[in-house]
Every structure is written in structure tokens, then in C-alpha cells.
Amino acid sequence: MIHFKEIFEQHYPSHWTEFQKIGRKIQNIIDYDFVNEEILWNAMSIRGSALSSEEFERLEFLGDSILKTILGILLYKRGEEFQPDKLSAFRQNLESNEKLALLAEELKFNEIGLLLEMRELSTNQAADFFEALIGAIYVDKGNIENMIALVKGITHFEKRLKELRKAPWESKDPKSYLQEWVSKKYSNEVNIDYISVNEGTSNAPQFKVRATVKRKFNDIIEIEGPWVGTFSKKKEGEKEAAKTLLSQLEES
């Protein structure tokens, strides 16, 4: 049987010690020690690297399913705090690729990408890594009940709920919410434009996006949001640009 270390050293012969160090950093951050570190290493084999394998895909699939289940349990346990029609919207926000990518950044995701000699990694790659990590913890731990508190901490569940209450657009489509806000303030006198710039390639796009509110008849900019990104898909960037502009409007 070929062990993970042998496979790793075939592709990255001088990086094994550093790879292990990043794995230990991840365990320290999430406050969990793997019984079988090889499971963690498979989760660190990011899609697109020379290490990416069927086992990574299996862990990512499992983690996606477990994350949905645990977030559902945590939301349900809040009792009548949320109306039923809000539950799915809140869970969808908490498990969106954009949010998971931000969580992955906290877990030394970028260090892994650099070590595995990859270009700047996409939002989807970051989210896949986070889901694979959740799957790996379950495989190593083997008990969904014991994972609930762990996932609650890793995802900053309580903090995110507070943010969702503070920013109501977080629980629905932010582009639609921005359109509603603009329509109330300016009637039908303006349009919302989403400007994008691709800083990647046609095969591996990396979009930066900003949202602007312009007068229909003279193109005068009434409101302009900051650039956000990068994103592998324009639609993801447009949603984040809308949320960023809404946050800016709330503070003004």
C-alpha cells in the first residue's frame, strides 16, 4: 500500500516537512488533533494541485453534506427565533462559497496553495478545501453529535447570526435587496451597474467587481461601491459587490 507521504514526495520532494507544519497549524487553529493525520493531508490536497485525488473529492462531498446538516441543527435549536421561511435563507448564506472561502483563509489555505505551487486560488477551491476539512474531521471523529460544537466554533456561527440580523440583505439575494433600496430612494431614475475586471485568464478567471448606481439619462454616478474580489464567477462577485455597497450605505 502506497502511503500519502510517498505520493506527496513524488510531486513535491522538498516540501514534506512544511506541509506537515501547515497541517499542525490547522489543527491548532480549530483546536482538534487528528487521530489519523493522513485523513487531514487528503483534505489539504486541494483540487487543481498535483495531489488532488478521488479521496479529496469524497471528503469534499461528505463535508458539504455534514455542514448542511449541522447548520440545520444549529438553526433549528434556536427555536422560534427564526421564522421557517428564514431558515433555508440563513443556512444558504452561512454555507455560501464566499463565506466558506473566508473561513478557509483563516485555516492557512493560502499557505497550502503556495506550497503546492499553484497560482492564486479561486473562491470555489477555498470552499472545497473547507468542506473537505469538515469531511475529514467526521471521518476521523466518527460522531456527528461531537462535531456540532466544533463546527459551531469553526464557522463562527453565533457571530454570523448577529451579522445576519444586523444586515437583513444577508438572508436574501443581495442584488435584489439593493434594487429594492435603490428603487425606494430614487424611484425609476437610476440603474445599478456591476463593473467587472478579469485579472486572471479565460480558462481561470479571477474577477474583481464593483457596484455603481447611475442616473439613467446622464450616467452621473450617484453611489459607487469599492472593488471586491477576486471571484471565479462574475455572479459571485456581483453578489458580494452588492452586499459591500449595502454595508457602505448603512454606515453613511
pLDDT digits (tens, 9 = 90+) for 93-149: 788 887 888 888 888 888 898 899 887 778 888 899 999 999 999 999 878 888 998
pLDDT given for residue 1 in this prediction: 47
* pLDDT confidence band for 2 (50 / 70 / 90): low
Domain end marker among 141, 166, 191 = 166
- 197: domain CATH number is 3.30.160.20
One domain, residues 156 and 186: no
Q: Is 153 a residue whose pLDDT tops 80?
A: yes
Domain of 200? Answer: 174-251
One domain, residues 52 and 159: yes
Q: What percent of the chain has pLDDT over 70?
A: 93
- 94: domain CATH number is 1.10.1520.10
Q: Is 171 a residue whose pLDDT tops 70?
A: no
One domain, residues 148 and 47: yes
This prediction's pTM: 0.69
| CB-based contacts of 149-158 (< 8 A; 24+ apart in sequence) | 150/30, 150/31, 150/32, 151/66, 151/67, 151/70, 151/71, 152/70, 152/74, 153/30, 153/31, 154/30, 154/103, 155/67, 155/71, 155/94, 155/103, 156/103, 157/71, 157/74, 157/94
Domain end marker among 121, 149, 166 = 166
pLDDT given for residue 252 in this prediction: 55
Q: Is 237 a residue whose pLDDT tops 60?
A: yes
- For residues 188 and 166, the model is more confident at 188
pLDDT in tens, 55-90: 999 999 999 999 999 999 998 887 667 677 677 777
How many domains are there within the chain? Answer: 2
One domain, residues 59 and 93: yes
